[in-house]
Structures are given as structure tokens and as C-alpha cells.
Amino acid sequence: MKDKETKAVIFQILIKIAPDVDPETLEMEDNIREVLGIDSFDFLQFIIGLDEEFGLKTPEEDYGKITTLKALITYIKAAKQRLIK
Amino acid sequence: MKDKLGTISRTTSNMPDYDTFCSQFSWEKEYESLDGLPEGGINIAHEAVDRHANGDIGNTVALRWVRKDKSFEDFTYIDLKVRTSRFANVLDKLETQKGDGIFSLLGRVPSLYVAAIGTLKARAVFCPMFSVFGPEPAFQRLSKGKAKVLVTTTVLFENKIKQLLDRLPLLRTILLVDADCHIDDKVRSLSLLMSKAADYYTIKNTQPEDPALLHFTSGTTGMPKGALHVHRAVLTHFVTGKYVLDLHPGDVFWCTADPGWVTGTSYGIIAPLVNGVTNIVDEEEFDAARWYSILEEHRVNVWYTAPTAIRRLMRMDLMPLDSYDLSPLRLIHSVGEPLQAEEVVWGKKTYGMPICDNWWQTETGGIMISNYASMKVRPGSMGKPLPGIEAAIGEVEGEKVHLLTKPLEQGHLLLKAGWPSMFRAYLDEEERYKKCFKGQWYITGDLAKKDADGYYWFVGRADDIIKTSGHMVGPFEVESALMEHPAVAEAAIIGKPNAIIGELVKAFVVLESGFEANEATKLDIKGYSRKKLGPAIAPKEIAFIKRLPKTKSGKILRRLLKARELGLPEGDTSTLE
């Protein structure tokens, strides 16, 4: 899956959680929670949504590492590669 | 087999034996441990900061602020004294009067703590607001609290407050903590004003019953109520800090709550400072790995957190003691919603000590019922009343209270009125305030039971108030906001049980004709409510319904909606329309 497609999936999930903000306004280095006004429960739902979509099981201890679009896309790519191996 | 959940091993607990201590306790005796103002009277700011700055621990770190990037900045008691004095001088310069409402809308940054203590020094009333509130909750509080001054950031001002100014004629000054220069006569740079203010301030005569703090809390009907607390409340903050949180000189303490909620003010600002310890403030939101690293790096001794966070930590695969040195940690407390027995047991397994649950409310101003360091913890129990507090279980009928004295009888949780941090009013709502008291008893609105050994057990709310992530949300406030959406004809809000946050806010919506009950409409309503209310209050779930169940007199039966949602028996439906 290309980064662009990963991003599209991320946006699909984000729009359901925070429909008041257009995720397209997010810069790659922006803190997603801060820019979209997402609380920690929403963020948990967001990661669970991503896990379901990508077949991952993101551990709670990694949540703090995936706060930006850039970090998230890199993380998903690496996690999927680990799954393939 | 011996119960593994024995007492927490600590030989120097401030309250070595609960029963003995209760029999000897007196508020008057504890009051003598406070300093009092040189000219008489008592002021929270003096007890929290100035007396320590003037005494032996002036150079002790009062506040350690951990930035988002994990770098940190220390403020000693002397530093805090200077900064809060400057803030009080700024308020004087702005011609703030005794009793005026000074509000904050800030994240956890040092200016918030300086504003809180500085406001109390100037004898004004401090009201902290949660920074993720949307414009509508902010307006309700600023308007009802007759705010004269608001301390906030440029972004929060631009996004949430600016649009409200026409509706807030009493709001005279906005102090921006991050602006280098004044915007106009009304919107000013706090740092510029602070730089010109004197760093010494003499606190004027403050009486124990003078108003100090205003915290808004939700009601079942109507908009949030402003619970007013007085300077005498500092006695509860001192006593609970010393005997419940068991704070000792030299301790490092971390309360993870935001000062926008009462826990974050009573225990994230006042109690640790009054007890002269080092108070950790983390600017960032919950992050499991970060939290453990803070506990380790800053050698936290006493940690006060919430069930929502504990449940998130329980999701981690690691055993924290294998990965982090938490050896200085000796006591963990939790508040916000009841801690389940398995969560207490998990604490013992994970940290080597049970997590001590405790119970209190915005109205009580401080911890009222708790498990203690020196008392055997019963997992799932709220614990026993604070020494000096009389609690009971009772039935309330009209103006009468009938006490239930048999073990495990379920009834209203009652507190005998008169403790130091008891709220003194719901601002401008005397009738609503009076309704909370029946004779000598304060009716908490919570249902509970007491066992044969005096431990209290939480049962639930007696009303429709929702407890989400440890915060109270009133259905009326949310329903009112939803009703302003053009597609919404009627709305009802319930708390839907959730394994992580206790309850989540769920909305049932009856649509206006012409609107389709589809995903797009749902998202539009959700987006609208988030924009208006902010993520802490806005519904997390929305469902469409053809009609709302109501009584014959037209009152929405939220409990019926909840029972249907959960597949529970519907109970008495004789009043159903």
C-alpha cells in the first residue's frame, strides 16, 4: 500500500471521529490530537480503527510515538512489513 | 491464605492507625498547623506559597513543569511567591475588586498555576476552565460566573472566546500568556504587565468565609452550576494532603488531573503546595510510556490518578517494574469514578501496592471518603470517611432523611454538613443550593452502601448525570446544544457504560422532517456538537430514534433509554406517555 492510500484510510477514520475538522488541513508534522481537538478516548478509538483496517495490534506503549501523520504512516508501514515477514 | 492486599508498608505514615486517629481528630487542632495571615484571617495563597517561601523550604522546588518535549523547568516556593505576587499586582492595577471572578482557559502551563495563586492573593475568585471546552461551555461559565478577567492563550482566544465577547459585557480584560505586546485596551499581554509589576504583595485581610474558588459542575436539569468555595477550604486541602495522600517533607507528588476539573485544582495545585512538597505538572495528555518515564525520572513518591488512566495502563503488555525504576513510589490514589476490584488487585500485582480509591465531588471541595496508606484496602470499596467527616446512608423523603443503619442497605450517600471545604453556594441559585441539604445532611446525589466494618461501596448516581473519564456531564447542557442543529427536533443524552472511560456520552436524536437518518446527517450533528461543546462534552455516539420516551408531563425518561440501550428491565413505566 502506498503512503497516499494509507493516508486516505487514516483520513476516513479521522473524519468519523472529528467530523468538524477537515483532516486534509493536517500537515505531516502536526500533532494530530492537538490540531483536530481529539481527546485521549477518541485517539484510542482512532488507533483501534486503524488496527482493524490494517490488521495490526498496536500496543498501548506505542501510542505516544504516533502523534503525527508522518510518524503514523512510517509506523504502519513498518508494522505491516513485520506482519509480512 | 492471608490476603495479599494488606496494608501498605510504611512505618512513618502520618496516620498510623485510622480508628485511633479518628477518635483524636479535631479540625480546630489541625487548623493550628496552618499559619494564618500576619494581621489575622486566612488566605489559601499564603498557606500554599508565601509561608513556605518565607520559611525553611523557600528554595525547595514547589512546581516542576514537564514540557511536551519532556524537558522541565523548576519553580521554587520563592519563585512562586514572586510570580504570584506580580500577578496579584497586575490584578490590582486592573482595578480588580475582592470577590471578582478571574477565569483561566489554559493547558497545564506555569501561567495557570501563577494565575490561580495570584488571584487568591488578590482576594478575587479563581475559576479554571478546561482548555478543550468549546465556545458554548466556556460562555456558560464566563457568563454565569460574571468573569471580569480571563487568562488564556492567543490561539484559544481567537478560536473560542473572541466570538463570545459581545455576549460577555462584564468581561473587561483578556490576559494573553503568550503575547509580547498588548492587542488593544481589552486584550493585553500578561508578560508585559507582569514585567512592570512589583514582585512583592501584601495579602489584605482575608476571612475564612471569603469566597476563593469557583468550580462549575453539571446538573441533571439546567446549565452547569457554579459551586463556590471559601478560603477556609484550605484546611481540608491540608488535612487530606497530609493524611490521605500521606505527603511528607521532601516528597515528589504527581496529580495527573487537569486544573479545569476540581481534582486538578484541589490536588493539582493547592494540597501539595500547602503541604510543602514538590508538585509535578505534565503539559502533555495521557501517554502510557511517557507517564511511566515521568514517574521514574522525577522519582515520584505519591501518585494521584484516575481509573480511566489506570485502565489504559492495564492495556500495556509490559510489567512496569521490569522496565522502569519506580522504587520511590510508595502510594497510589485514584479518583473520578469507582475503581473496580480487579483494578485494585492489578495495582497490587503490578506496582506491589493496592491502588487506593477515594470519593469526593466538586461540592465537597476535597476528599471525603478514602482508602488510606495505613488501612487495609478492600478492593472495590470507596474506603472510610476522612477523620472529621461524618458520612451515612439514608433514604430521602421530601424534607426528611431516614438513616439506614443495617449493613449493606442501599441508599443515598449523605455527609453531615459543615466541613471546611463544603461549597457555600451555587452561584446565584439559592434554591438549587438549599435543595442539596435536608436538615443537617448534605445529599450527595450518589447511591452507596456501608458494610458492617464501616467501608463504603459506591452503587451509582441517583440522577441522570453522566460520569465520563471522571468528569460530570449534564444531559441538559448537551441536549440544548444539539437542539440548535437544524436537523435535530429533539435530543436525549445518556451515559453508556464503557470499559475505559466509565461512561460515554451517547445522544438519541429525533430528526426534523426532511432530514434523512443516515451517516452523513450523523456526522454533521457530531461535528456541530464537537465544535460547540468541545470533545470532552460532545457525544461520542449518536443514534436516531423515532420518538423519545417521555412521562405524561413531557419529561424525557432518560433512564428508560438507558435501560433499552443496555437490554435491561425497563422498570416502572407507569408514568410513560
For B202-259, the pLDDT digits (tens) are 999 999 999 999 999 987 777 899 999 999 999 999 999 999 999 999 999 999 999 9
Cα–Cα distance for residue pair A50/A54, rounded to 1 Å: 6
Quick check: A40 contacting B, CB < 8 Å? yes
Interface test with A, best of B69, B523, B525 (most A CBs within 10 A): B523
Q: What is the mean pLDDT of chain B?
A: 94
The mean per-residue pLDDT over the stretch B113-140 comes to: 96
Residue B318 has what pLDDT? 84
CATH superfamily, domain B29-447, is: ANL, N-terminal domain (3.40.50.12780)
The mean per-residue pLDDT over the stretch B268-278 comes to: 98
The mean per-residue pLDDT over the stretch B81-105 comes to: 98
Residue B1 has what pLDDT? 30
* Least Cα separation, residue A17 to chain B (angstroms): 8
- Sign, Cα dihedral of B262, B265, B268, B272: negative
For residue B4, pLDDT over 60 is answered with no
Quick check: A19 contacting B, CB < 8 Å? yes
- Please state, for a pLDDT cut of 70, what percent of chain B lies above it: 97
pLDDT band at B572 (very low <50, low <70, confident <90, very high): low
Residue B74 has what pLDDT? 98
For residue A81, pLDDT over 60 is answered with yes
Q: What is the DSSP letter of B100?
A: -
Domain positions in chain B? 29-447, 468-566
Cα–Cα distance for residue pair B224/B218, rounded to 1 Å: 4
Q: Give the rounded distance of the alpha carbon of B354 from its chain centre.
A: 23
Cα–Cα distance for residue pair B417/B364, rounded to 1 Å: 10
* Least Cα separation, residue A1 to chain B (angstroms): 27
Which chain B residues touch A if contact means CB-CB below 8 Å? 132, 285-290, 308, 312-313, 315-318, 469, 500-501, 504, 523-524, 526-528, 530-531, 534-536, 540
Instruction: List beta partners, residue B450.
Output: B456
pLDDT band at B574 (very low <50, low <70, confident <90, very high): low
Q: Which three cell numbers stand for residue B389?
A: 467527616
Using an 8 Å Cβ cutoff, are B380 and B403 in contact?
no
Look at strands B225-230 and B125-130 and give their pairing.
unpaired
Residue B498 has what pLDDT? 93
- The residues, ordered by sequence, that sit 6+ positions from B148 with a Cβ below 8 Å of its Cβ are B96, B100, B101, B102, B124, B170, B171, B172, B173
Q: Which CATH architecture has domain B468-566?
A: 2-Layer Sandwich (3.30)
* CATH number (domain holding residue A71): 1.10.1200.10
Q: CA-nearest residue of chain A to B541?
A: A17
Using an 8 Å Cβ cutoff, are B456 and B391 in contact?
yes
Look at strands B441-450 and B425-426 and give their pairing.
unpaired
Q: Which three cell numbers stand for residue B295?
A: 514517574
Please count the structural domains in chain A.
1
Residue B2 has what pLDDT? 33
* Least Cα separation, residue A5 to chain B (angstroms): 22
pLDDT band at B5 (very low <50, low <70, confident <90, very high): very low
For residue A2, pLDDT over 60 is answered with yes
For B428: left if phi > 0, alpha if psi spans -120 to 50, otherwise beta; the answer is left
The mean per-residue pLDDT over the stretch B366-393 comes to: 96
Using an 8 Å Cβ cutoff, are B497 and B566 in contact?
yes
- Asked whether this chain's domains B29-447 and B468-566 adopt the same fold, the reply is no
Interface test with B, best of A31, A47, A61 (most B CBs within 10 A): A61
Using an 8 Å Cβ cutoff, are B269 and B117 in contact?
yes
Cα–Cα distance for residue pair B572/B576, rounded to 1 Å: 9
Q: Which three cell numbers stand for residue B535?
A: 470533545
- Tens of pLDDT along B300-318? 999 999 999 999 999 988 8
Q: Which three cell numbers stand for residue B539?
A: 457525544
Structural domain boundaries, residue A58: 3-84
pLDDT band at B7 (very low <50, low <70, confident <90, very high): very low
